Chains A and B, each alone.
Chain A
Amino acid sequence: MDSGNIAWLLTSASLVLLMTPGLAFFYGGMSRGKSVLNMMMMSFGAIAVGAVAWALVGNSISVGDSIGGLFGDPSTDFLLSSSFVSGDGESLIATGFGATFAIITVALISGSVADRMKFSAWMVFAFLWVILVYSPVSHWVWGGGILAEGGGIFTADWFPQDFAGGTVVHINAGVAGLVMALLLGVRKGFGKEPMRPHNLPFVMLGAALLWFGWFGFNAGSAFAADDAAAAAWVNTTTATAAAILGWLLVEKLRDGKATSLGAASGVVAGLVAITPAAVAVDPWGALLIGVFAGVLSSLAVGLKYKFGYDDSLDVVGVHLVAGLWGTVAIGLFGTTTFGAWDGVFTGGDLGGLWAQIVAAGVTIAYSAVATLIIGLVLKFTIGLRVSEEVEVSGIDLAEHGETAYEEAK
C-alpha cells in the first residue's frame, strides 16, 4: 500500500462522484422549469442504480477474469467479494473509482431524453446499461480486453490509447444518447416552440462542478499521485480553457454575442475531448484539441434541427463529437513524453491514428446495437415515454409529485 497513491485515489473517486450532481445542475439549468426536477433526478437515480450495479457485477465484468477479451467473468468479483477480502486498499478504491465512472457515463445519456422519459423506465435502463454496455466496453479498453494494449486485435506497436474514457465514457454515452433520442421521438413542439434553458446560473454552476470533478477523472486515471497525474491535470486545464475560447469565437462570429451557455458548453466540450488524450499529448496538442473541440461541438449542436432528432441537451453534439475528436486527435498529435506512441503530425505514422479510429468505430457499433436492444425491450414492456398530456403539463408533477417553482413553464 502506497499511502500517497491511496490518498489521491480516495480524493479522485470523491471528485468524480461529485461530477454527477454537477451534471444534474448543468442539465437541470438547461431544461425547462416544469421538468428540472426530473432532469436532476435522472442524475441522482444514475448514482443509485449505477453504484449498486457496479458493486454487484459491473466491476467484475470490467476487470474480472477475461472471457475472450469480451467481458470479465461476473463471478470473479461478485459484490466486490474478492476485492474486499484482499484487504488491498489501492485495488479496493480502484473499484470505487470505477463505480463513479459508470455512474457519470450513464447519467450523461439523460440529456437526450429530457422532458419525456418515464422515471421507472430510466432507472431500469440505467441499471441494465451499466451492466450490459458500460462494463463490457470498460473491459475492452481498461480491463485487458480487445481494445487494450496487447489485449487483442492490435500490434504491440500500435494500439488504442484512451487514458480516461474518450471511447468508454463519451463516445459510448453519446451514441447511446442518440439511440435513445431516436427511440423516444421528438418532444411536442420540438423545433417550433422555444425550449430555452430556464436557469443559466445553474448551468454555469454545473459546468464548474464538472470541471472540478474532472481533475479526479483525468488526473485520477493515472491511478497514482505521480508525474502522469500532473501531466493530465495541466493538459485538462489547457484544453478546457482553449475550448471555451473556441466555442465563444464561433458564437461571436456567427451570432454576434458570446453567451454564458456557450462558455459552459465549451468547458464540457474541452473536458470531453482531452479525456482520452490527457497524457497522450503535450500542451500544444492539448491546446489544439481544446480549441477545435469548442469549434466542432458548437457547430455540431445545430445538427439535431437539420436531421430532426431531439437530442434535447446535446449529448451527441458535445459528448459524441468532442469524444470522437479527442480520441482521433491522439492519432494526430500524440507524443511519447507520457503517451505510448507518436501521432501523424508528431513524428509517427498512420498506425496510431488507425488504432484510434478502430477503437472509436467498435465502441460506436456496440453501443448503438446494445443500447437499441435495451431500449426496445423497455419500450415494448414497461414503455419509455410519458403521455403527451404529462409532457405538456410538466413531467415533474406527474412523475415525482413535485414542482420546482410555484409557476413553472
Chain B
Amino acid sequence: MKLVTAIIQPHRTDEVRAALEAAGVKGVTISEAAGYGRQKGHTEVYRGAEYTVDLVPKARIEVLVDDADAVTVTEAIVAAAQTGKIGDGKVWTVPVEDVARVRTGEHGTDAL
C-alpha cells in the first residue's frame, strides 16, 4: 500500500477531489496547510510598515491506495491541480506498512 500526499493550491481542491473520484478513489483526507517553496511568501503593508509573510496557504490531500494505483492517482492529482504557475505544489508517495479499518478491525488492502 502507498500513501499519496499532495500539497496543492487551495483553489484547485474541488477539481482534484473530482479527479480522484473519477479515478475510483473511495476516500481522501483534506486539510489546510501553510508553507512555502519556490513561490516564497509575500509582503503585506500596514500603515506603511512592511511585513513579510513567509507562509502561504495550501491544501494538503492525503490518499491511501493500493500499490498498483499509486501512479494513476498521482497523475490524476497532477493533472487536476496544475495551473502552470509557481506555487502549484508537490505530490509524493511513501510506502505504508499496514492500515486498519477502525469500524471492522480489517487490516491491509481490505481496509482501504
Q: Please give the residue numbers on chain A whose beta carbons come within 8 Å of chain B beta carbons, in ascending order.
A: 194, 196-197, 251, 254-255, 257, 259, 261-262, 265, 298-299, 301-302, 305, 314, 317
**Which residues of chain A come closer than 8 Å to B45, judged between CB atoms?**
251, 255, 257, 259
A residues near B52, Cβ cutoff 8 Å = 194
User: A259 near B49 (CB under 8 angstroms)?
Assistant: no
Chosen A-B contacts, 22 in total, with CB atoms closer than 8 Å, are A194-B51, A194-B52, A194-B53, A196-B44, A197-B46, A251-B45, A251-B48, A254-B48, A255-B45, A255-B48, A259-B46, A261-B46, A261-B47, A262-B47, A265-B47, A298-B47, A298-B48, A299-B48, A301-B48, A305-B49, A314-B47, A317-B47
B57 to chain A, nearest CB (A): 15
Residues of A within 8 Å of B46, CB to CB, are 196-197, 259, 261
Question: What separation, in Å, do the CA atoms of A197 and B46 have in the docked complex?
Answer: 8
Contact A196 B51 (CB under 8 A): yes
Separation of A254 and B48 alpha carbons in the complex (Å): 8
Please, how many angstroms separate the alpha-carbon atoms of A344 and B45 in the complex?
38
Which residue of chain B has its CB nearest to the CB of A262? B47
Contact digits for B27-49, partner A, Cβ 8 Å, 1 yes 0 no: 00000000000000000111111
How many Å from the CB of A406 to the closest CB on chain B?
A: 15
Docked Cα-Cα span, A255 to B53, in Å, equals 16
> Which A residues lie within 8 Å of B53 (CB)?
194
**Chain B: which residue is nearest A302 at the CB level?**
B48
- In the complex, the number of residue pairs spanning A and B with C-beta atoms less than 8 Å apart equals 30
* C-alpha gap A197/B51 in the complex (Å): 11
Q: How far does the alpha carbon of A257 sit from the alpha carbon of B45 in the complex, in Å?
A: 9
Interface contacts beyond A194-B52, A194-B53, A255-B48: sample of 18 additional A-B pairs, CB < 8 Å, sorted by A: A194-B51, A197-B46, A251-B45, A251-B48, A254-B48, A255-B45, A257-B45, A259-B46, A261-B46, A261-B47, A262-B47, A265-B47, A298-B47, A299-B48, A301-B48, A302-B49, A305-B49, A314-B47
Chain B residues contacting A305 (CB-CB under 8 Å) are: 49
Q: Nearest 8 A-B pairs (CB), nearest first?
A: A194-B51, A255-B45, A301-B47, A302-B48, A196-B46, A196-B51, A261-B46, A197-B46
List, in ascending order, chain A residues with CB within 8 A of B51's CB. Answer: 194, 196
| Residues of chain A with a CB closer than 8 A to B44's CB | 196
Name B31-82 residues within 8 Å CB distance of A.
44-49, 51-53
Instruction: Tell which of B48, B51, B52, B53 has the most Cβ of chain A within 10 Å.
Output: B48
Q: How far is the CA of A194 from the CA of B49 in the complex (A)?
A: 9
Write out the residue numbers on chain B whose beta carbons fall within 8 Å of the beta carbon of A298. 47-48
| CA of A198 to CA of B52, assembled, Å | 15
**B59: min CB distance to chain A, Å:** 19
List, in ascending order, chain A residues with CB within 8 A of B48's CB: 251, 254-255, 298-299, 301-302
CA distance A140 to B36 in the complex (A): 59
Q: How far is the CB of B52 from chain A (nearest CB, A)?
A: 7
Question: What B residues does A251 contact at CB under 8 A?
Answer: 45, 48
- Of B46, B47, B48, chain A has the most CB atoms within 10 Å of the CB of B47
Contacts of A302 in B (CB 8 A): 47-49
**Closest chain B CB from A322 CB (angstroms):** 14
Cα distance A299–B49 in the bound complex, in angstroms = 11
A159 to chain B, nearest CB (A): 36
Bound Cα distance from A259 to B46, whole angstroms: 8
Least CB separation from B45: chain A residue: A255
A255 to B43, CA, bound (A): 11
Chain A residues closer than 8 Å to B49, beta-carbon distance: 302, 305
Chain A residues with Cβ below 8 Å from B47 are 261-262, 265, 298, 301-302, 314, 317
Nearest Cβ in chain B — how far from A334, in angstroms?
Answer: 31
Specify the chain B residue showing the minimal Cβ separation from A259: B45
Complex CA distance for A302 and B46, rounded to whole angstroms: 10
Complex Cα distance, B54 from A194, in Å, reads 11
Chain B 7-37 interface 0/1 with A at a Cβ cutoff of 8 Å (1 = within): 0000000000000000000000000000000
> What distance in Å separates the Cβ of A52 from its nearest Cβ neighbour in chain B?
34
* A314 vs B46: C-alpha distance when bound (angstroms): 12
Q: How far is the CA of A265 from the CA of B47 in the complex (A)?
A: 8
Separation of A62 and B61 alpha carbons in the complex (Å) = 66
- Cα–Cα distance between A77 and B47 once the two chains are bound (Å): 44
Distance between A216 CB and nearest chain B CB, rounded to angstroms: 27
**Taking each of B45, B46, B49, which has the highest tally of chain A beta carbons within 10 Å of its own beta carbon?**
B46
Nearest-neighbour CB distance to chain B for A303, whole angstroms, equals: 10
Closest to B51 in A: A194
A6 to chain B, nearest CB (A): 41
